[in-house]
Amino acid sequence: MAEAVNQQQNIEPKAPTTERQTITGAETHQAVAGAIHGESIISIGWTAYAARQVEDGKWTKEQLAHPEQNLLPAMKSFEIRQGIREGVFTDPVAVTTMFAKDLQETRVFWNDWYVTHANDRDDARELAASSIAAKEEEINPLLENPTRQAHYLTRQAEEDLIIEDTTEPAIALRKQQEAASLLEMAAKIARRKVEEITKQQQQQEEKKKAQQATEAQADQVREQLAELDRQEQKVA
């Protein structure tokens, strides 16, 4: 998007000023950013959706054989999101990738939207800028913070587990299974963070002990040198 949205420092993002503007922006973004595809992947499941992508030539069988290693970089955020929910992706790197792609997709969409509507909407610049800013505010705190990622996934799982009595059994079961996958990913992220903190603490403790040992050795050498000085003075 020209200078307006690409250079955020030159923008004072403002929320849409009318209800019509808000709805228009939200609906357009939702449609283009993948909501329609999202309904498809949710309705048929990630595995069937992935098979369809291979049939359409968008993905390859080689990529599908090892999706976390070969397919993740080529996927959209909603595809990764559903893969996490269904337990296809179990490496926490998928969560960070999902957030990063979600943010990038939002920026690309609103940049393109601004270029298209800059001449026919006076609020185009403000709407695009505020929409990008809102997404950045949502995503940036999650990108490099595993603890917040784990909390995010846990909240998603808790929402899935709120099942109405009128919910069809098959849908209820799927929501429970997806909640389990989300909680397992959250637990894995939490375990890795605990391990990381524990390792850091051990390294700090080892560093402290090594420093203490070095200081003790230095004290011993100083005492030896002092004793040597005294002995030499007696001889002199």
Angle between helices 93-117 and 124-143 (to 10 degrees): 170
Confidence of residue 7 (pLDDT cuts 50, 70, 90): very low
**Rounded-to-integer distance, Cα 81 and Cα 92, Å:** 12
The reported pTM is 0.71
DSSP string for the chain? -THHHH-GGG------SSHHHHHHHHHHHHIIIIIHHHHHHHHH-HHHHHHHHHHTTSS-HHHHHSIIIIIGGGS-HHHHHHHHHTTS--STHHHHHHHHHHHHHHHHHHHHHHHHHTTT-TTHHHHHHHHHHHHHHHHHHHHT-HHHHHHHHHHHHHHHT---TTS-HHHHHHHHHHHHHHHHHHHHHHHHHHHHHHHHHHHHHHHHHHHHHHHHHHHHHHHHHHHHHHHHHHH-
Contact between residue 100 and residue 143 where contact means Cβ atoms under 8 Å apart = yes
Confidence of residue 234 (pLDDT cuts 50, 70, 90): confident
Please give the average per-residue pLDDT across 212-222, as a whole number: 90
DSSP string for 41-95? HHHH-HHHHHHHHHHTTSS-HHHHHSIIIIIGGGS-HHHHHHHHHTTS--STHHH
Which tens digit of pLDDT belongs to each residue from 112-135? 999 999 999 999 999 999 999 999
Please give the average per-residue pLDDT across 7-17, as a whole number: 36
Q: Note the pLDDT of residue 236.
A: 66
